[in-house]
């Protein structure tokens, strides 16, 4: 269990904004050395300058987590600069909406590439080193409450986050089979004030939708995500949730107990236990 943070090394993907930047600020506030990775170069450099104001050592590495060689390069840069790594937050994520049957192949390729393969690439690039170090360390994978329930018009995203949670749970079980002080957490945010509603800005040109490939449903749900995100929680709340999860070695970092997201999860579990058809609209009024 990682309980001492001063001077330790944290790596965060999707670090230029939102939850990622908030985690970097929290880690820096604890005296950690921080490696920021993001696909947006200008925003990454600015975020790096902000984190440096905490008086800690900072490294920024432009990284597209969907590309395994770039994540490997991130790991190499981290070790070249700091020799060790103690916290890895596979946090980068994107969103595409619409009905499942309307989603085109590049919607799937883009979202799964970042939200699933990006997590896997982070695990493969960093976990072997953490195991070799044999020191207290922790992996945090940003999943989503959408990895626990299934909302209509968000099928591509839902699938990606269910897969990310499965990866993270499996990693936890596999680490339990070896003698290691490396812990794992699955961060499952609810609605947070982040830039995920503007994910399209970072979509590679070869994966963008054509002018005739969008649908009204896709436009509607993506606009709704942008609007609802503005009323979400401050990303600092997630940074606090992550830090406490690492310090207490807590796996499931979920939305507040008793809230609408928690109730929707309970309804889904009841659907499964009672072998009844899925309850539609279980998340209505979520906040």
Domains and CATH numbers, the chain: 9-255 (3.40.50.720)
Whether 286 shows a pLDDT value over 50: the answer reads no
**For residue range 173-221, what is the model confidence (pLDDT) as tens digits?**
999 999 999 999 999 999 998 988 888 889 999 999 988 788 888 888 8
CA distance 282 to 1: 36
Per-residue pLDDT, averaged over 253-278, amounts to 96
Contact yes or no for 90/41 (Cβ under 8 A): no
Whether 105 shows a pLDDT value over 90: the answer reads yes
41, 43, 47, 49 alpha-carbon torsion, rounded to 10° = 70
Task: Give me Rg for the CA atoms of the chain.
Answer: 18
Whether 225 shows a pLDDT value over 90: the answer reads no
% of the chain beyond a pLDDT of 90: 86
Q: How many CB atoms lie within 10 A of CB 253?
A: 19
Confidence of residue 224 (pLDDT cuts 50, 70, 90): confident
Per-residue pLDDT, averaged over 122-142, amounts to 98
Whether 271 shows a pLDDT value over 70: the answer reads yes
Per-residue pLDDT, averaged over 10-39, amounts to 98
CA distance 256 to 260: 9
Name the pTM for this structure.
0.95
Query: Which residues are catalytically annotated?
Result: 157
Handedness of CA 88, 90, 91, 92 (dihedral sign): positive
Query: Residue 127: what pLDDT?
Result: 98
Query: Residue 229: what pLDDT?
Result: 73
Query: Residue 147: what pLDDT?
Result: 97
Using alpha carbons only, what angle is made at residue 16 by residues 158 and 107, rounded to the nearest 5 degrees?
A: 30
Sheet holding 9-13, edge to edge: 58-62, 33-38, 9-13, 87-90, 137-142, 182-187, 252-253
């Amino acid at each position: 269990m990682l309980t001492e943070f001063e001077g330790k090394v944290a790596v965060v993907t999707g670090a230029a904004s939102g939850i990622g930047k908030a985690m970097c600020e929290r880690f820096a506030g604890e005296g950690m050395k921080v490696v920021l990775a993001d696909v947006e170069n200008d925003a990454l450099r600015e975020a790096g300058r902000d984190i440096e104001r905490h008086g800690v050592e900072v490294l920024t590495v432009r990284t597209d987590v969907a590309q395994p060689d770039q994540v490997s390069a991130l790991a190499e840069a981290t070790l070249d600069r700091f020799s060790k790594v103690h916290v890895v937050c596979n946090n980068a994520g994107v969103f595409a909406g619409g009905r499942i049957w309307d989603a085109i192949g590049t919607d799937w390729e883009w979202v799964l590439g970042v939200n699933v393969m990006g997590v896997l690439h982070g695990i493969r690039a960093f976990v072997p080193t953490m195991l070799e170090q044999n020191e207290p360390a922790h992996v945090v994978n940003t999943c989503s409450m959408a990895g626990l329930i299934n909302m209509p018009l968000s099928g591509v995203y839902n699938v990606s986050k269910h897969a990310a949670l499965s990866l993270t749970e499996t990693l936890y079980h596999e680490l339990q089979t070896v003698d290691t002080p490396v812990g794992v957490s699955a961060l499952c945010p609810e609605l947070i004030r982040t830039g995920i509603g503007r994910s399209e800005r970072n979509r590679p040109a070869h994966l963008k939708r054509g002018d005739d490939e969008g649908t009204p449903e896709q436009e509607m749900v993506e606009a709704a995500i942008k609007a609802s995100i503005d009323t979400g929680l401050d990303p600092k709340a997630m940074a606090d949730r992550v830090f406490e999860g690492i310090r207490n070695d807590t796996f499931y970092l979920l939305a507040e107990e008793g809230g609408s997201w928690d109730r929707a999860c309970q309804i889904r579990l009841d659907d499964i236990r009672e072998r009844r058809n899925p309850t539609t609209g279980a998340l209505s009024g979520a906040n």
